[in-house]
Amino acid sequence: MLEVKNLTKVYPDGTRALNNVSFTVEDGEFLVIIGLSGSGKSTLLRCINRLIDPTEGTIILDGRDVTAADSRELRFIRRKIGMIFQHFNLVDRSSVLTNVLSGRLGYLNPWRSVLHKFPGSTRKEAIQALRKVGIEDQAHKRADELSGGQRQRVGIARALMQDPGMILADEPVASLDPVLAHTILGYLEKLNRESSISVLCSLHYLDLVQRYATKVIGLKDGEIVYRGTRDDIRSMTDQQFKEIYGEEAERVSAGTLSHQDNISGEVAP
Ligand SMILES: Nc1ncnc2c1ncn2[C@@H]1O[C@H](COP(=O)(O)OP(=O)(O)OP(=O)(O)O)[C@@H](O)[C@H]1O
């Protein structure tokens, strides 16, 4: 379980990106964070694994105080938190397999990690992780030879190598077309449901929020302005969504949602 209490982040230039944000995420939840550009979504996600140090407040993950963790503890905590990025953050010139294996670096003993020497069993696991996202046949290609959707699947496989209890996904489908967006979110949902991995994800299409979220928080100028359960979200109107999200709020095309029915079948291992 994740408990975020009174979290505030003020950047050195004085920008108050988060102001007194509190919420909880139960194990196995799929929390979606919505909000306009600049509302603080990335800052919030990055505070949770301390890629950004909060100014005030506490973050407790499974009883451990992330905010008070020293560097040793933080390494341990971060091992269990996978991160997925909008622009994938792959090493383009390395192979897909090497990128996936890098998810395990936090578990290697120091000399192995310096040399990036992975045991054979770990390489097998990496292939299995790629199989879970349907691209084991791409393992030996260079990462920059893959399409955007395939690259994000590599990002998921890399996160899986951490054996995470939680995945933080910062706009994971913003660079993808709507059909691919459903494919990627379908994989995240499957991991969420079948492996009980909690997912915290920022998204900006209402359809996607309604389809995947079990809980939603809405941010505006760094403050929580909306909290919704799965039922609340499903009955949310475009107008309500626009009040939080602004006039930029939009749906992906109606046809895409029905496509999801096919995708669900496709993601089964
Ligand atoms: N390193 C930084 N220094 C100063 N201000 C920053 C820094 N990073 C972000 N901000 C500011 O903090 C606020 C929140 O930014 P953040 O990136 O968290 O928002 P966001 O909701 O993720 O936006 P987007 O959807 O555009 O990524 C914005 O006003 C942004 O300009």
User: Model confidence over 30-63: pLDDT tens digits?
Assistant: 999 998 889 999 999 999 999 999 999 999 999 9
- Atom 4 of ligand 1, nearest CA residue: 11
Q: Would the CB of 248 count as within 6 Å of ligand 1?
A: no
Distance 39 CA to ligand 1 centre (A): 7
Q: Give residues with Cβ within 8 angstroms of 86, minimum separation 6.
A: 170, 171, 172, 174, 175
Best of 18, 42, 85, 86 for a ligand 1 pocket test (most atoms within 8 Å of beta carbon)? 42
Q: Would the CB of 246 count as within 6 Å of ligand 1?
A: no
What is the separation of C-alpha 128 from the centre of its chain, rounded to a whole number of angstroms?
A: 20
Predicted-complex ipTM score: 0.97
Cβ neighbourhood burial of 204 (10 Å; 0-12, 13-18, 19+): buried
Q: Would the CB of 41 count as within 6 Å of ligand 1?
A: yes
Q: Which two tokens stand for residue 46?
A: 């990055």
Q: Would the CB of 19 count as within 6 Å of ligand 1?
A: no
Distance 38 CA to ligand 1 centre (A): 5
Confidence of residue 265 (pLDDT cuts 50, 70, 90): very low
Domains and CATH numbers, the chain: 2-80+164-266 (3.40.50.300), 89-163 (no CATH)
Distance 127 CA to ligand 1 centre (A): 36
135-168 confidence digits (pLDDT tens): 999 999 999 999 999 999 999 999 999 999 999 9
